Structure 1
Amino acid sequence: MRILGISVLAFWLSWGGAVLAGPVTEREGWVVMPTDMPFDVLVTAVKAATKSNGMGVVTEAGPTAMAASRGFSIPGNRVIGVFNNDFAVRVLATSTAAMIEAPIRFYVTESPDGRGTLSYKTPSHVFAPYLDEGGDELSELAATLDQRFATIAKAAVMSSH
């Protein structure tokens, strides 16, 4: 029984450490945009910018509310999956396997002071493993999506200025 208790404590401590992890930082293939916007305002701005740029919010998930219902307080954290049917059909024409990457996600995180950060993997980075199969057409499509995601991100973070 003591071993079980120690194992549970070790798991809880390791999980608790993940809750206190630091902010998202620059890494290969990512765009990271810290803002002065409150987390909730940035989430709303990303959704509005997505719609106004011809894309749709396909999925949305975040652990914050569920964690709170379990007694854990964690900063705001939202993953927003963005795509549209036109791009889906075009991706599938180049590589069936590449479609597993859709929707491509924006990631909104909250800093301790309540400000939001917008992050995302560029579509060209996301689709890179499929370029041997999808060829130039998939590469060009990914570049088009890079521009669309950059436009959405810029519109979202500039919406309060």
Structure 2
Amino acid sequence: MPARILISFAALIVLALGFVAPLRSAELPGTQTLVSPHDFETLVTKLEAAVAEHKLAVVAKASASKGAAARGVKIPGNAVIMVFRNDYAVRMLEASAPAGIEAPLRFYVTENAAGKASLTWRAPSATFAPYGNAALDKMAEELDPIFAAIARDAVR
């Protein structure tokens, strides 16, 4: 009897992992990545310039690689560049205060083993879709091509 229970328990764990693993490895809807010919620092600089060119603002930056470097640890470059603009923030909050957790929207710059960098972002329409709000959807439809243009310009 104990062996049967152990086998059943093991089968249950394997079954559960079969459901959990795809959830963790699946990319979120609307996630896009462009590979650039640039090194990490150049891509970050070009991204910030493209954000300004498209009349949005870099409102914050976070980088585990810079934090690690401050401790004397070297890891591949990565930076989250948080982007928005106040008029969009006001529209977002008027449409849905709970959606405020999504702002600022983010670009993610990562360095690969060859020293080149990629740019990943989630389309604003995918970010705001779960809220089921027509005003948010309209705003996101305006932002989608802006974010795509920023990314395209940054990796050129």
**If the length of structure 2 is used for normalisation, what is the TM-score?**
0.79
Alignment match, 1:110: 111
Deviations 1:90-147 (A, max 9, x none): 111110111110000000000011101000011111111212xxx2221111111111
Q: Which moved more, 1:60-69 or 1:81-90?
A: 60-69
In structure 2, C-alpha distance between the alignment counterparts of 1:121 and 1:152, rounded to whole Å: 13
In structure 2, C-alpha distance between the alignment counterparts of 1:141 and 1:27, rounded to whole Å: 20
Helix, strand or coil at the partner of 1:36? strand
In structure 2, C-alpha distance between the alignment counterparts of 1:101 and 1:26, rounded to whole Å: 17
Q: Offset at 1:75? A: 0.4
Alignment match, 2:83: 82
CA contact (8 A) 1:123 1:145 kept: yes
Q: Which moved more, 1:57-66 or 1:102-111?
A: 57-66
Alignment match, 1:153: 151
Q: Offset at 1:87? A: 0.4
CA contact (8 A) 1:26 1:32 kept: no
Q: Offset at 1:63? A: 1.1
Alignment match, 1:140: 138
* Bigger CA radius of gyration: 2
In structure 2, C-alpha distance between the alignment counterparts of 1:110 and 1:96, rounded to whole Å: 35
In structure 2, C-alpha distance between the alignment counterparts of 1:126 and 1:94, rounded to whole Å: 14
In structure 1, C-alpha distance between the alignment counterparts of 2:72 and 2:82, rounded to whole Å: 27
In structure 2, C-alpha distance between the alignment counterparts of 1:130 and 1:26, rounded to whole Å: 19
Q: Offset at 1:88? A: 0.5
Could you tell me which runs of 5 or more consecutive residues in structure 1 were left unpaired when the two chains were aligned: 1-24
Could you tell me which runs of 5 or more consecutive residues in structure 2 were left unpaired when the two chains were aligned: 1-25
Alignment of 1:30-41 (within 5 A): 30-41=31-42
Q: Offset at 1:71? A: 3.3
In structure 2, C-alpha distance between the alignment counterparts of 1:115 and 1:27, rounded to whole Å: 24
Q: Offset at 1:36? A: 1.1
Alignment match, 2:98: 97
In structure 2, C-alpha distance between the alignment counterparts of 1:129 and 1:150, rounded to whole Å: 20
Q: Offset at 1:28? A: 2.6
Alignment match, 1:71: 72
